[in-house]
Amino acid sequence: MAGTGNFSMNIICIGAGYVGGPTMAMIAAKCPQYKVTVVDINADRIAAWNSDKLPIYEPGLDEVVKSALGRNLFFSTKIAEAIDEAKVIFVSVNTPTKTFGEGAGKAADLQYWEKTARDIIKASNSDKIIVEKSTLPVRTAHAMERILNANDKGIHFEVLSNPEFLAEGTAVEDLKKPDRVLIGSQLTEKGLAARQVLVDIYANWVPKENILTSNVWSAELSKLVANAFLAQRISSINSISQLCECTEANVSEVAKAIGMDSRIGPRFLNASVGFGGSCFKKDILNLVYICEGYGLHDVARYWESVVAMNEFQKKRFVRNMIRVMFNTIAGKRIALFGFAFKADTGDTRESPAIDVTMQLAAEHANVVITDPQALDNAAKDLQGCGDCTKYVTFENNPYEAAKGAHALAIMTEWNEYKTLDYERIYKSMEKPAFIFDGRNILDHQRLYEIGFNVYPLGKECWKHF
């Protein structure tokens, strides 16, 4: 077995993305006694982790990485070498929705996952603990164990499930003080021993009562169910936002009123143009696919409706814009404020802004996109969308984006959009000037007083005609 040098244990993570990078940086920062190496096939990403400009924007992450980089935290492309040295191997590769073959559009694409399993077998010369960090279909650990333990080297691999619950934009705080860390294992002697190794790693900074253990299948399934429940709350309040618009009820007041019921709770009740992010949709569709596989079609339909409501909300937002702007937006300049799927991240995966932009471009509106962190990703997302090439431009400065626009649409709840000089913006726009607040973050009455026609979500509009 390879040595650990001055460190008490070698831990590695395969996959240096939004989860692998921050999670491992936190372990390294909190546990200087371990050597933590993060490996990836993407050499550019690894180079960025080793540079001054990290590959992802996440508040507070620079400091955490800096505190450990080169001391006990390393980013590398030498995957086989790292595997050979490691006792504990986290696997945090991407598990997107399958786009081809059986289960296309719903099932998880496990090709990256299985490839790592084969890399692990090839490079290993000693027993290892494999930790599923990626979000996976329930019972994947079973398949993983069968693949790994079919090796002819006499090596034993124990597979644990340790799903990640961090949210982007708050990843550092979520990792520092997680609501819970969930560790699923087999309930065999070897399974329980492996589980204890992982419990001991987290116990370096997470209170024992927040470290939850379960069987492997419960841990795997809990991750999918947590995301499904969170997304369901958003779809629920978004469905009510439309009813509010018809009845003069105010969705924020309704959310506050129901959220004060301690059984419901106040969080994840902000009506929006729709939820985005790389995981909610993919994980619910994966849950739907699994249910269908067990013949649970009614259960599948129930969860599928959460995604359907989200798709509807994005469409409804644009339809409303068209209706309000006199049933035509062709040739009108529309500034989208924000493109990231939420504030404090540059991530745009599944951002509702993508769909909104495509719909607006299909109507031949001239869309100008501004965002403090996500413009590079936005340009990549819209590449190859025919209408977008012709009708979409990008602008760093929101004041420039708004100049000459007929309408602004708030897509992302960036704090800086709350404090812009809207009088200046109003003066620079075409009249009548419209604001569609897809996040309900602005002071609607004040905007109205400036002269805007204001269309929030789930609330009465403020209009001058």
Binding site for ligand UGA (CB under 6 A): 135, 164-168, 227, 230, 234, 268-270, 272, 275-277, 279-280, 341-342
134 touches, from ligand NAD, ligand UGA, none (C-beta below 5 to 8 Å by class): ligand NAD
CB-CB contact of 93 with 18 (8 Å): no
CB of 55 to ligand NAD, least distance (A): 8
92 touches, from ligand UGA, ligand NAD, none (C-beta below 5 to 8 Å by class): ligand NAD
Is 40 a residue that touches ligand NAD (CB under 6 A)? yes
> Is 279 among the residues known to form the active site?
yes
- Give CA–CA dist 267/46, Å, rounded: 35
Two tokens, residue 47 = 């180079």
CB of 167 to ligand UGA, least distance (A): 3
The residues in 118-137 that bind ligand NAD, with binding defined as CB under 6 A, are 134-135
Two tokens, residue 14 = 């395969």
Stretch of residues binding ligand NAD (CB under 6 A), selected from 15-23, 188-196, 235-243, 335-343? 15-23
Tell me which of 244, 279, 291, 388 is the catalytic residue. Answer: 279
240 touches, from ligand NAD, ligand UGA, none (C-beta below 5 to 8 Å by class): none
CB of 385 to ligand NAD, least distance (A): 21
Is 17 a residue that touches ligand NAD (CB under 6 A)? yes
Nearer to ligand UGA, 30 or 133 (CB): 133
- Give CA–CA dist 172/195, Å, rounded: 24
137 touches, from ligand UGA, ligand NAD, none (C-beta below 5 to 8 Å by class): none
The residues in 85-104 that bind ligand NAD, with binding defined as CB under 6 A, are 92-95
Is 168 a residue that touches ligand NAD (CB under 6 A)? yes
247 touches, from ligand UGA, ligand NAD, none (C-beta below 5 to 8 Å by class): none
CB of 111 to ligand NAD, least distance (A): 8
361 touches, from ligand NAD, ligand UGA, none (C-beta below 5 to 8 Å by class): none
Nearer to ligand NAD, 151 or 428 (CB): 151
Which residues of the chain form contacts with ligand NAD (CB under 6 A)? 14-20, 40-42, 45, 79, 92-95, 112, 115-116, 134-135, 164, 166, 168, 278-279
Residues marked as catalytic: 279
